[in-house]
Amino acid sequence: MQKFKNPESVLVVIFCQTTKRCLMLQRQDDPHFWQSVTGSMETHESPQETAIREVLEETGIDILGQNLELIDVEHIVEFEIFPQFRHRYAPDVTVNKEHWFYLPLIDEITPILTEHLAYQWLKIDDATNLTLSPNNSEAIGNIHRLIESN
């Protein structure tokens, strides 16, 4: 029996406070698609637990082990799942609910890529223009507010 993805996920924008740049990751299954860390919630997993797990899986950054501050933006968006990714979900599922997080770092790191082809650290405007995901672009663009509040 085919296991479908849960249509509830997280998006984690990793941001370097020193250089004011965001980490962008190139998808393996669609090399034209660059994004922040994303991932579906597992059964009995909270959004924060998912964010911590996905950051570790996709970049090698151990939020708990390195005592980093994962910021829950307390913002949830619903969006239509891109047609090229719908086969991963149950046939009647077309919408995903996404929880947003920010992970500020002092220094840019070299991620350990296990699920992506490449990475780039980009200025906010460049990152918002690179991603094909409107909600990812919006989340990155909202970093300006986070910077101003700290």
Give the helix/strand (H/E) hosting 134. helix 134-141
pLDDT at 148: 60
pLDDT at 144 over 80: no
* Superfamily in which the 8-149 domain is placed by CATH: Nucleoside Triphosphate Pyrophosphohydrolase (3.90.79.10)
pLDDT tens digits for range 113-135: 999 999 999 999 999 999 999 99
Q: Are 87 and 72 in contact (CB under 8 A)?
A: no
pLDDT tens digits for range 21-49: 999 999 998 899 999 999 999 989 999 99
pLDDT at 146 over 80: no
Give the helix/strand (H/E) hosting 138. helix 134-141
The whole-angstrom separation of Cα 77 and Cα 132 is 16
